[in-house]
């Protein structure tokens, strides 16, 4: 068997995950607008996938980017074909779910969302008036000619119109003409609410209002047809490995502005468009057949997250509300609590306010001399950043490592870093050849005489971002363990240029992480070979590294029972002779499962870890990642219970089988009781007595 066949293709595996997201829109047990939101999430995910992953493969297939050899170039071509086949299949399913499930469900709630159907007569005057007053002033039709290429901006929705002049002979070259118009998103909402009729509420796409009024835009013309189109462009920012820190800053500043004009990687069009219309646009915009992706009548369905809910009787999803730990409410000092025992927060079930309060305490505690934090994706108007600025203004030494290579957050991170620097914060920018993905914070203290006091370390699985902390399911550990605090201090010194650091408790990619993982797997293999129980549970976002997959195959062959809870990419193939003891679970629900939690049974003496890395090549070998052991027995049990709850989910959990299918764990998941995210929230409530 060829070695390649032992792994799923990374991008095909990701498409399997995104299809699982789409399936949530078909779940009739969910609130209506939650289902609509999952169509938006699916569509948004697909946009980013094309702009980054597909753009990279296309560049290799087209010879624009270097390939290792001719075989690699051919593989890129074949992978592009496989991706487009699978995406087209999924888009057919999205159309079915949207048109046959979502729209009828809206009508049952008395919300009529006009699509291709004729509007009610009572709305026609409103539509014409709204168009003239609110939309038409912002429309600028641009003629399309084969010989002159006009520019289409990335991800902007355009209306392509085919028409001819009245009274002109069909044989005249002026008979058929083409125009494109950019929809005025910045001026008018995508979705327009129309007057209520009886018990019914009405919504309409802005492009449908424009289509209904094309005669007003092109007087003297007969409108033959009109269809939505858009282009996606390569959005990856390539930074040379040889670039130093200042060159990285300058490259980001320069290239982030060019992202909107990158090479075309996808041309999406209404699949109802006639072939001759499509061929004309392909020639005019120099679109290759491999860049074509047939879409729905209405494109950019990621905008559905902004769809108004006009009916007050349609209730939104009641999400678990973040709880505050009563132990911290009773004891105002998080410092004093963590000096006594480790503290673990589970977002979004626990409030991110606790982390903010931790920083506030550092601002005002006179013993705090230094605060160090990594920032990967920074929220706009961030409370975290505002608190760090307050600390600097309160004469604390504040150091923040800002990763400029965080995709799609480069510009925001750079602007935030410059603001922090102006406030007196010491900024460390990206490291050449490496991306820093660790989610860590450190507080160092001394008394009035300069003697060291216990410091505090925080190691998390998610970004210091209060907005994503309300949406992503993550874990964060506070500890005053001296060895972990010292290790974390060494890590920050390494980010500032220290060579050859030593880590005793913390596992850090580039240094001791891989040897530690191999040791832990070896121990489970040895236990299984001795006839004892070998047990591994790994929760992460993605599993792709062939070396670590082979170690799991080896452990499976030795009899180790392995459960993987992998939300996204999983290149390991379960259910084969070499993986018969491995099961892969995927959970998609209200919150994005983002935590990385690793359990190694140890023959009854388990070791449990949390941290920032997935088991991807990039995380394990090309990034700085931090992983902490959970030393407190109660917290270790808490994480073990969380993993077991997730493995017992029968509502939102699927197995991923050997064909990359999402296979429901229950034949009728809507009727099953165990829904892990809600069950774990209830579990945490029982551990948070008043």
Q: Determine whether 128 is an active site residue.
A: no
Q: Which two tokens stand for residue 358?
A: 């931790």
User: What kind of architecture, by CATH, is found in domain 9-306?
Assistant: 2-Layer Sandwich (3.30)
Does the pLDDT value for residue 237 go beyond 70? no
E-only strand ranges, 589-679: 592-593, 597-600, 607-611, 623-624, 626-629, 653-656, 662-664
Average pLDDT over residues 144-164: 82
Q: What's the pTM?
A: 0.91
pLDDT band at 175 (very low <50, low <70, confident <90, very high): confident
pLDDT band at 48 (very low <50, low <70, confident <90, very high): confident
pLDDT band at 1 (very low <50, low <70, confident <90, very high): very low
Question: Largest Cα–Cα distance of the chain, in whole Å?
Answer: 96
pLDDT tens for residues 106-137? Answer: 999 999 999 866 788 999 999 999 999 999 99
pLDDT band at 58 (very low <50, low <70, confident <90, very high): confident
326-500 and 513-686: same fold?
A: yes
Average pLDDT over residues 304-331: 89
User: What kind of architecture, by CATH, is found in domain 326-500?
Assistant: 2-Layer Sandwich (3.30)
| Rounded Cα–Cα distance for residues 108 and 128 (Å) | 28
Average pLDDT over residues 364-389: 88
19: left (phi over 0), alpha (psi -120 to 50) or beta: alpha
pLDDT at position 382: 85
Cα torsion angle, 24, 26, 30, 33, sign: positive
Mean pLDDT of the chain, nearest integer = 89
| Rounded Cα–Cα distance for residues 88 and 54 (Å) | 14
Domain ranges, ordered by start, for the chain: 9-306, 326-500, 513-686
Q: Which of 128, 437, 489, 594 is catalytic?
A: 437
CATH class name, domain 513-686: alpha beta
Q: Is 639 helix (H, G, I), strand (E, B) or coil?
A: helix
pLDDT at position 3: 44
User: Residue with structure tokens 């299984």?
Assistant: 528
Average pLDDT over residues 534-546: 97
Does the pLDDT value for residue 652 go beyond 70? yes
Count of residues making up the chain:
690
């Amino acid at each position: 068997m060829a070695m390649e066949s032992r792994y799923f293709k990374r991008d095909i595996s990701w498409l399997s995950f995104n299809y699982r997201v789409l399936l949530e829109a078909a779940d009739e047990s969910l609130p209506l607008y939650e289902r609509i939101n999952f169509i938006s999430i699916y569509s948004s995910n697909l946009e980013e996938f094309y702009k980054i992953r597909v753009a990279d493969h296309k560049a290799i297939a087209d010879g624009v980017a270097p390939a290792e050899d001719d075989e690699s170039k051919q593989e890129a071509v074949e992978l592009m074909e496989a991706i487009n086949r699978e995406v087209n299949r999924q888009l057919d399913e999205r159309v079915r779910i949207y048109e046959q499930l979502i729209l009828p469900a809206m009508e049952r709630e008395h919300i009529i969302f006009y699509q291709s159907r004729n509007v009610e007569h009572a709305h026609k005057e409103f539509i014409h008036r709204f168009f003239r007053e609110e939309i038409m002033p912002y429309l600028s039709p641009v003629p399309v000619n084969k010989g002159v290429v006009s520019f289409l901006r990335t991800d902007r929705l355009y209306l392509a119109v085919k028409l001819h002049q009245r009274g002109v002979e069909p044989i005249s070259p002026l008979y058929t003409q083409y125009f494109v118009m950019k929809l005025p998103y910045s001026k008018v909402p995508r979705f327009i609410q129309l007057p209520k009729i009886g018990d019914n509420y009405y919504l309409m796409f802005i492009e449908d209002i424009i289509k209904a009024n094309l005669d007003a835009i092109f007087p003297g013309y007969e409108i033959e047809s009109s269809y939505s189109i858009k282009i996606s462009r390569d959005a990856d920012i390539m930074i040379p490995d040889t670039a130093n820190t200042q060159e990285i800053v300058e490259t980001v500043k320069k290239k982030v502005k060019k992202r909107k004009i990158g090479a075309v990687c996808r041309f999406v069009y209404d699949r109802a468009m006639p072939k001759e219309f499509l061929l004309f646009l392909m020639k005019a915009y120099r679109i290759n057949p491999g860049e074509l992706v047939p879409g729905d009548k209405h494109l950019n369905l990621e905008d559905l997250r902004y769809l108004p809910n006009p009916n007050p009787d349609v209730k939104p999803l009641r999400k678990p509300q973040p709880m505050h730990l009563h132990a911290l409410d009773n004891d105002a000092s998080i410092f004093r609590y963590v000096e006594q025992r480790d503290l673990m927060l589970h977002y979004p079930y626990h409030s991110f306010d606790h982390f903010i309060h931790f920083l506030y305490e550092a601002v005002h505690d006179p013993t705090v001399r230094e605060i160090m934090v990594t920032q990967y994706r920074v929220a706009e108007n961030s409370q975290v950043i505002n608190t760090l600025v307050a600390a600097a203004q309160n004469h604390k030494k504040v150091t923040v490592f800002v990763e400029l290579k965080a995709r799609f957050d480069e510009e925001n991170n750079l602007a935030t870093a410059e603001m922090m620097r102006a406030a007196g914060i010491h900024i460390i920018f990206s490291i050449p050849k490496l991306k820093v993905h660790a989610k860590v914070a450190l507080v160092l203290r001394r008394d009035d005489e300069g003697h060291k006091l216990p410091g505090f370390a925080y190691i998390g699985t998610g970004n210091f971002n209060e907005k994503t902390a309300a949406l992503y399911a993550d874990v964060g550990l506070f500890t005053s363990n001296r060895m972990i605090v010292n290790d974390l201090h060494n890590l920050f010194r390494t980010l500032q240029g220290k060579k050859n650091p030593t880590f005793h408790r913390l596992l850090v990619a580039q240094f001791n992480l891989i040897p530690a993982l191999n040791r832990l797997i070896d121990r489970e293999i040895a236990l299984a070979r001795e006839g004892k129980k070998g047990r591994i549970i790994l929760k992460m976002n993605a599993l792709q590294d062939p070396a670590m997959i082979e170690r799991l195959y080896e452990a499976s062959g030795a009899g180790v029972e392995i459960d993987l809870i992998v939300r996204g990419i999983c290149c390991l193939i379960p259910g084969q002779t070499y993986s018969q003891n491995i099961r892969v679970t995927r959970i998609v629900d209200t919150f994005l499962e983002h935590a990385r939690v690793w359990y190694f049974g140890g023959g009854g003496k388990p070791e449990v870890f949390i941290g920032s890395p997935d088991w991807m090549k990039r995380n394990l070998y090309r990034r700085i990642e931090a992983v902490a052991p959970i030393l407190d027995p109660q917290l270790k049990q808490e994480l073990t219970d969380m993993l077991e709850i997730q493995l017992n989910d029968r509502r939102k959990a699927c197995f991923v089988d050997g064909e990359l299918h999402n296979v429901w764990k229950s034949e009728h998941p809507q009727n099953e009781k165990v829904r892990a995210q809600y069950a774990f929230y209830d579990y945490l409530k029982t551990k948070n007595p008043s």
